[in-house]
Structure 1
Amino acid sequence: MNFAKAFFRTAALLLILGCFLPPITAASAAITIALPDLLGKDKDEAIRLLDQLGLRHQLGVKNTCEKENTISQQQPVPGTVLPVGSVILLWVNRDSGALVPDLVGKNLEQAKEALASIGLEADPQETLREIGDLGCPGLQHLDLGFQPQTIVRINPPAGTAICRPAKIQVYRVHVYNVGSGRNSNGFCP
């Protein structure tokens, strides 16, 4: 009879204590899971997957030229075994790309303004154009197809996708005359 009394008292005590103890969860039971590879996945898809696995997350932003709102980095690394309920750090791509505009025919100030408006910078270069022995008076009427100091080429070319920040080489025309002709001031341009 003592055994039965002791058994029922112990069972009653465990039942009463059970009401005040926190419930057993996956995290408290030390269930572990291997972290999947989330790199390149859409941010919302990655978060849903972590939620399904019982993992929490914190987000950070990383400027890249990769597809916007995709995961570019995660910590811990894929394959790490950790307890359910662990926090995973995710870095989400923010598009930092731009298309190089067509700057040919613009002057340097116009090119600088156009590039600055999309977060790029001009890196001025000069390209020399020799116009030959034309004599100075004839130079005033020569149609070169461009004006001196005009952008004639850019690198990378217009339409190229490029990561910001970046410098775009803009080649300006610098005209010089190898002739011996002189204008009324005694100088060639």
Structure 2
Amino acid sequence: MDVIQALKTATSRVAERYFWLSVAGQGAPVKRERVYCYELYHQLRCLLPAGGALTLSAEPDKRGHPDFQGRQPNPDLIFHEPGTHRSNQAVIEVECRPDRRHLRKDFETFRLLKDKGYREFVLLLFGVLGVPWQRLAQVAEEVGLPLEEVAVLLHQAPGQEATRESGGTVPNPCEAPGYKGQKTPLTKNSSRQRQYRSLG
């Protein structure tokens, strides 16, 4: 199956209430990675053919897995055939906080699962305006995974389809545009920026 196209279609169907989560007692909504991931999982499942050879699994915890000694990854989404390493196809990591610490965790997950036969690696950034290519390159080098092996998708806002990005188009990440379609990037001292903080 075409994992990239499936993700593009699924992201276009993620409704605003799952992209931005309203919080009781708080005026502005926030990003929550897990809420977004669960809706993305649902939309992907709706797209998959019944009886397909591969299974889509969400957050398969590798703790206690006999084939993972030392660090045991917990990927956001994987396409695989459970019970064997023969048909490990794709690993998807979803990120709305593309700082160095979170990106390193994502790339370490990719590298560990590459050793188990996974062939496709997708980093899906949502709720940000651009891709931090320089940071990605540094993290990829530190982890020992060539950046060109990772497909980067950018989902900027609900109602849009994620786009596949190529290296160097946007050098630095920004916070997402303000809720309800604000186009101006948020400034460091903006009270709105504090309202739109990312919560994983």
With normalisation by structure 2, the TM-score equals 0.18
Which structure dedicates a bigger proportion of its chain to helix?
2
Larger Rg computed on CA atoms: 1
With normalisation by structure 1, the TM-score equals 0.18
Larger relative contact order (CA 8 Å, sep ≥ 6):
2
